[in-house]
Chains A and B, each alone.
Chain A
Amino acid sequence: MANSKSVILKIKRQQTPESKPYWEEFELSYRPGMNVTSALMDIAANPVTRQGKPTTPVTYDSNCLEEICGSCAMIINGQAKMACSALIANLKQPITLEPFTKFPIIRDLAVDRSVLFENLKRVKAWVPVDGTYDLGSGPRQSSEMQEEAYPLSNCISCCCCMEACPQFNDKTGFVGAATIAQVRLFNSHPTGSALKTERLKVLMGDGGIQECGYAQNCVEVCPKELPLTKSIAAVGGQVMWQAVKDLFRT
C-alpha cells in the first residue's frame, strides 16, 4: 500500500514501434533526492509491477544524468521534461511517464528524435572551416556577442521545445524552435555567417519559420532556458530581410 515513503509511477509502455501501448504501475520506496531516471533504474533493478507481476525493465534514453546530454526527455505528468532533473519530491503522485508523442516510438519511453539532427543538417548549423590548409584563427568576438551566443550554445537537443509546440506536427512539418535558435547562433558567428543567406533561404521552405504560431511553449519548457522566442523573432526578421532582398534585388 502507498504510504508517505513510497512512490507510485504509471508508465506508458510499448514493446515495439508498431505494437499497442499499455500502462503499468510501479511502487518504489522513496529515497531523498530521487529523480525520474533514478526511479527508472530502481525499476530496472527489480522489474515487478505494483500488482506483483514480473515484467521487463522499462526502456528509456539517458546518459549524463545531469541535464546536459538531452537524452532523457519524456512526458512527465503531462509535460515535456528531462527525467534526470525531474525530482520525485516535486512531482504530483501518481507520476505518469509517457514517451514523446510527436516522435516515432522505438520502445517504451525511448523515441527517435533524429528529425532534429536532420533539420540541423539542413540549415547547416555549423561554422564552415573545413579545408585543405590552416585558415588561422578566426575574427575576435566582442564580449557582447559572446553573451548573446553562449545561451544559444547551451541547447542539448532534447526536443522538449518541439514536443510542446502546437505547430510541430505532421500537418505543418514545422522545423521547431531548437533549429531556429541554432540558425541565430551560427548566423551571429563571424565565420559562421558565411552561410547566413543559405540558412535563411532554407528556413523559407515548407515547414520553415513561418509555421511558428508564437504559443511560446518552447521557451517555457526549455530545460536550458534558451531565449527561444527571442531567437524566433530575430531570425524571423533576418528571413524577412532576406525575402525582401530576394524580391527587390535579384
Chain B
Amino acid sequence: MASSASSIDTSSARIKEGVAPLRAGQGYSFVLRRLHSLSGIVPIGAFLIEHFISNSEATKGVQAYNDQVKFLTSLPFVHVLEWVFIFLPLLYHGIYGLYIWYKGDSNVGEYPWTGNWLYTSQRWTGIIAFIYIAYHVIDMRFLGVHLMGGGYNNAFSKVWFDFQSPWTIAFYVIGIVAVSWHFAYGVWLFAAKWGLTIGDQARRRFGYVCAALAILLIGIGLWTITGFVQTPAGQVPYVEHD
C-alpha cells in the first residue's frame, strides 16, 4: 500500500515532465493572441468586405471597375493606409497565425466532432489564405502593370489577362472560399472567446449568422469572377503585361 505522503512526493517530482501549469504574470501571449483575433476583424475583415464590394464593380463592366480603382488609389495618404491597415496587419495575422497552428495538436482522428473539425478547418483555411493572399498581393500590387499613381485604367485588364488561365481562376476560387470561411468562422470565434456570445443557444444562432456571412462572401467573390470571365476580349483595352 502506497502511503498518501509518498504519492504526493511523486506528484511534485513529476509535474516538471508534463504540461506546465499556468504562468501567472508571465509572457505576452494574452495580448498577442487577442490582437491576432482582433486584427482578423479590424482592420483585415473590414478591408476584406470593402475589397469584395469594390471588386464586384467588375460585374458592371470595365469602366465601373476602373473608376472604383481610381477612387481607392486616389485616397489621401493611400500608401500609409495600405501599410497600416492592410499589409502590416496581414503580416502579423498571417505569421502569428502560423505560430498558433504550430502550437496546436489537431486530433480530429480521435475526436471527429463538429467543433473539432471547425478548429482544424480554421488552420487549413488559414494556410491556404496565407499562400493565396501572398500570391495575390505580390501579383496584383507589386508585379506587372502598376495601378497606383494613375495606372487605374489598366485595372480591369490586368485581372482579365490573369484570368485567361483556368488555373488562375481555380486558384482564385479556392482562395475566395478559404478566405471567406476563415473570416466568417473567425468572427464566430471572436464572439465566443471575447465573451459576446456566452450561452450555447447564442453561439449556435450566431453560427448560422456567420455561415450566412461565409456563403454571402463566397457568392460575391464568385459573381465577381464571372464579371471578368464573361467580358469579351474586344471590350478590354490591351495592356503590356510583363
Considering the chains assembled together, what is the distance between the CA atoms of A17 and B14 in angstroms?
A: 9
Chain B neighbourhood of A207, CB < 8 A: 20-23, 29
Is B19 on the interface with A (CB-CB < 8 A)? yes
User: Bound state CA distance, A235 and B33, in angstroms?
Assistant: 16
Is there contact, CB below 8 Å, between B21 and A112?
no
Contacts of B1-26 to chain A: CB distance below 8 A: 10-12, 14-15, 17-26
Once the chains bind, are B111 and A220 in contact (CB under 8 Å)? Answer: yes
How many chain A residues touch B (CB < 8 A): the figure is: 61
Q: Please report the number of residue pairs spanning A and B whose Cβ atoms sit closer than 8 angstroms.
A: 177
Contacts A216-B115, A217-B113 hold; do A208 and B19 have CB atoms under 8 A apart?
A: no
Which residue of chain B has its CB nearest to the CB of A176? Answer: B19
Given A169-B105, A214-B115, A233-B203: A115 and B198 within 8 A (CB)? no
Does A31 count as interface, using CB distance less than 8 angstroms? Answer: no
B31 to chain A, nearest CB (A): 8
Complex: A123 Cα to B110 Cα, angstroms: 30
Contact B200 A227 (CB under 8 A): yes
- A209-228 Cβ-contact flags toward B at 8 Å (1 or 0): 11111111100110000010
- Chain B residues at the A interface, C-beta cutoff of 8 Å: 10-12, 14-15, 17-27, 29-30, 33-34, 100, 102-107, 110-111, 113-116, 118-120, 122, 189, 192-200, 203
A214 touches B189 (CB 8 A): yes
- CB contact under 8 A between A169 and B19, given known A104-B14, A237-B198, A238-B195: yes
List residues of A whose CB falls within 8 A of some B CB.
17, 78-79, 102-104, 106, 112, 114-115, 117-119, 122-123, 162, 164, 166-175, 179, 201-217, 220-221, 227, 229-230, 232-241, 243
B contact residues around A239 at 8 Å (CB) = 30, 195
Assess whether A166 is in contact with B105, with CB atoms less than 8 Å apart.
Answer: yes
A residues within 8 A CB of B111? 79, 164, 215, 217, 220-221
Contact of A102 among B19, B198, B200 (CB under 8 A): B19
Q: Is the CB of B194 within 8 A of A104?
A: no
Bound together, the chains give a CA A172 to CA B99 distance in angstroms of 11
Complex Cα distance, B104 from A119, in Å, reads 20
Contacts A104-B14, A221-B111, A237-B194; is A171 near B102 (CB within 8 Å)? yes
B27 touches A206 (CB 8 A): yes
